[in-house]
Chains A and B, each alone.
Chain A
């Protein structure tokens, strides 16, 4: 019994070590490299240079704004859609799911080219309204790009609850549809909502092609630009952005866990 259990365990360790080398190796190298300064000595020079880069911090602020707005719009569009499809159009579920994948199927450059044409031919009014700021120009595009991930994770969450019974119960107690969504469905698919939000944030913080083509300096775009100018700074930047993204995702899951642990505390009492 013991011998039989030992071998798979050894394999597990081996795979873990291999995976760690694969993922942590480049990361460690990047950190090591980012600490090499242009004067040849080791130090935080590349990082301090970043902190003084005003363009970079402003682009980060822009991207975070876009991420927040995209997430809010995505949720307020997608959650009702998923619920409606599950309740009223279950036969169309597959069709809607296929449609939601389209943004993945269409290459970003095609979308970018189309938008660029629209941008250059836009009337003055449309330009002022939409294309004057990256927030109004990119948010709608990112909502569409986030659709495949958001739809799927929300659908999984909604499928896991007894949607019809909960909705019927709330309706018979006098709740209108907005209340049903906000107070009954949303709290019970919180994990799925957080997953969808995480994926959306990660997408906004990584999308380069469309932002670059439409000439907006978002955070990932300035990351690429910085990399072309100074290699050490660029690597420092990617390490930093990795840390920021992780922190964001951690914060989102922390918010989610707080809600869950409140229920868990209730269980103990």
Chain B
């Protein structure tokens, strides 16, 4: 199977007054896994449905391996898809479900059976071939669904929040398996999710969507560490919004530290007050009787502890610290300091502190 490239060119899709996709351009390289990440209603699922052929764009083209497939119906697109809802056919056992796509392609029975066994083995369910969907757990059903999508050796694999109905442990495990299978087969994959941890951990590149547009497309590290826009910064991971003073050389005075300013911004005059975004792990709160803040709340989260800190000016910040003994208790006076190297200038947008 040779991997193919996927191009979405200027896709526009409107539902009545609502513009679900507002000129989406996305290029997925052969064999690459791209995750589309965004809040509900950002257009990520619409983009996937357009690629799958369940819906047609009002403008723009869909190309796979260079061929324009915009007007091709779903049944002739040669794509494997795993859905958010359990989508196995309830009247068929696991093997028959997996064989369905091959049956549609008129594959001879023996070859069909062999291929079904092979992909069921690939997802670790070889022993469950004769089980009906209602006899399988949620995680097993999604694995069979993955096997069913892969059985037809599709040119593109589409994953529409396939893990969101599962509980946390199964989700993490299946996430790893999907990635392993995808890399082994080298299949071009588009993965849609609203879960940032999922997107960051599984994909080669993450595309953050907002209001029908792609805000940023980059590796998980780029998106997390160098968010292109305030929206990306606040949607991916947790962000604090704090006020800072610009110094002359493109630096910022933030909580007693001098940080490099980054992000798109209109030129500001030196000395001007601006809002910047800082991650909780780029702050530290040290017990200090003469400090400028008080610990309001402390939450133990395993490897790290998150503290809600109230500054004397009324502003609240989240500060993460590696869990250890001696972290300040709630009520203790602390001084908060920025420890990172740069800070993103916040736009005048919908930034929310500590979200």
Contacts of A169 on B, CB cut-off 8 Å? Answer: 81, 83, 87-89, 145, 148
Q: Assuming A188-B91, A263-B132, is B100 touching A170 (CB within 8 A)?
A: yes
Contacts of B52 on A, CB cut-off 8 Å? Answer: 168, 172
Contacts of A269 on B, CB cut-off 8 Å? Answer: 130
B158 nearest in chain A by CB position: A172
Of the candidates A168, A188, A263, A266, which one forms a contact with B87 in the assembled complex, judged by CB atoms under 8 Å apart? A168
In the complex, whether B74 has a CB less than 8 A from a CB of chain A is yes
Complex Cα spacing A269 to B145, Å: 22
Contacts of B134 on A, CB cut-off 8 Å? Answer: 267
Chain B residues touching A, majority SS: loop
Contacts of B78 on A, CB cut-off 8 Å? Answer: 174
B54 x A168 contact (CB < 8 A): yes
Binary interface encoding of chain B residues 41-66 relative to chain A, with 1 for a CB under 8 A from any of its CBs, else 0: 00000000000111000000000000
In the complex, whether B85 has a CB less than 8 A from a CB of chain A is yes
B81 x A187 contact (CB < 8 A): no
Contacts of A188 on B, CB cut-off 8 Å? Answer: 89-91
In the complex, whether A25 has a CB less than 8 A from a CB of chain B is no
Contacts of A266 on B, CB cut-off 8 Å? Answer: 93, 130-132, 135
Question: Lowest 8 CB-CB distances: which A-B pairs, in order?
Answer: A173-B101, A174-B104, A187-B91, A169-B87, A171-B74, A172-B81, A165-B85, A165-B87
Complex Cα spacing A168 to B131, Å: 22
Complex Cα spacing A161 to B88, Å: 11
**B33 CB to nearest A CB, Å:** 18
In the complex, whether B80 has a CB less than 8 A from a CB of chain A is yes
Other A-B pairs beyond A162-B86, A171-B53, A172-B53, 18, CB < 8 Å: A161-B90, A168-B52, A168-B87, A169-B81, A169-B83, A169-B87, A170-B89, A170-B100, A171-B54, A172-B80, A173-B101, A173-B148, A176-B75, A179-B104, A184-B89, A188-B89, A188-B91, A267-B135
B154 nearest in chain A by CB position: A172
Q: How many residues in B have their beta carbons less than 8 Å from beta carbons of A?
A: 35
Contacts of B75 on A, CB cut-off 8 Å? Answer: 171-176
In the complex, whether A166 has a CB less than 8 A from a CB of chain B is yes
Contacts of B73 on A, CB cut-off 8 Å? Answer: 171
Of the candidates A161, A174, A267, which one forms a contact with B101 in the assembled complex, judged by CB atoms under 8 Å apart? A174
Contacts of A172 on B, CB cut-off 8 Å? Answer: 52-54, 74-75, 77, 79-81, 149, 158
Of the candidates A173, A187, A267, which one forms a contact with B104 in the assembled complex, judged by CB atoms under 8 Å apart? A173
B104 x A166 contact (CB < 8 A): no
Q: Assuming A263-B132, A269-B130, is B104 touching A168 (CB within 8 A)?
A: no
B132 x A166 contact (CB < 8 A): no
Complex Cα spacing A30 to B100, Å: 54
Complex Cα spacing A165 to B81, Å: 11
A175 x B89 contact (CB < 8 A): no
**A88 CB to nearest B CB, Å:** 12
Chain A stretch 235-269: residues in CB contact (< 8 A) with chain B: 263, 266-267, 269
Complex Cα spacing A266 to B8, Å: 44
10 contacts between A and B (CB under 8 A): A162-B87, A169-B83, A169-B89, A169-B148, A171-B73, A171-B75, A172-B52, A172-B79, A173-B104, A188-B90
In the complex, whether B152 has a CB less than 8 A from a CB of chain A is yes
Complex Cα spacing A184 to B81, Å: 17
Interface residues of A (CB under 8 A from B): 161-162, 165-166, 168-176, 179, 183-184, 187-188, 263, 266-267, 269
Contacts of B81 on A, CB cut-off 8 Å? Answer: 168-169, 172
Complex Cα spacing A188 to B134, Å: 13
- Among B100, B131, B135, residue most surrounded by chain A Cβ atoms (within 10 Å): B100
Contacts of A162 on B, CB cut-off 8 Å? Answer: 85-87
Contacts of A187 on B, CB cut-off 8 Å? Answer: 89, 91
In the complex, whether B325 has a CB less than 8 A from a CB of chain A is no
In the complex, whether B290 has a CB less than 8 A from a CB of chain A is no
B132 x A174 contact (CB < 8 A): no
Contacts of A168 on B, CB cut-off 8 Å? Answer: 52, 54, 74, 81, 83, 87
A161 nearest in chain B by CB position: B90
B91 x A173 contact (CB < 8 A): no
Contacts of A174 on B, CB cut-off 8 Å? Answer: 75-76, 78, 101, 104-105, 152
Complex Cα spacing A173 to B79, Å: 7
**A84 CB to nearest B CB, Å:** 15
B100 x A173 contact (CB < 8 A): yes
Complex Cα spacing A168 to B104, Å: 14
**B95 CB to nearest A CB, Å:** 11
Complex Cα spacing A183 to B87, Å: 14
Complex Cα spacing A79 to B311, Å: 65
**A147 CB to nearest B CB, Å:** 26
A165 x B83 contact (CB < 8 A): yes
Contacts of B74 on A, CB cut-off 8 Å? Answer: 168, 171-172
Binary interface encoding of chain B residues 139-173 relative to chain A, with 1 for a CB under 8 A from any of its CBs, else 0: 00000010011001000001000000000000000
Complex Cα spacing A188 to B90, Å: 7
Complex Cα spacing A184 to B97, Å: 10
B152 x A173 contact (CB < 8 A): yes
Contacts of B101 on A, CB cut-off 8 Å? Answer: 173-174
Contacts of B148 on A, CB cut-off 8 Å? Answer: 169, 173
Complex Cα spacing A237 to B104, Å: 51
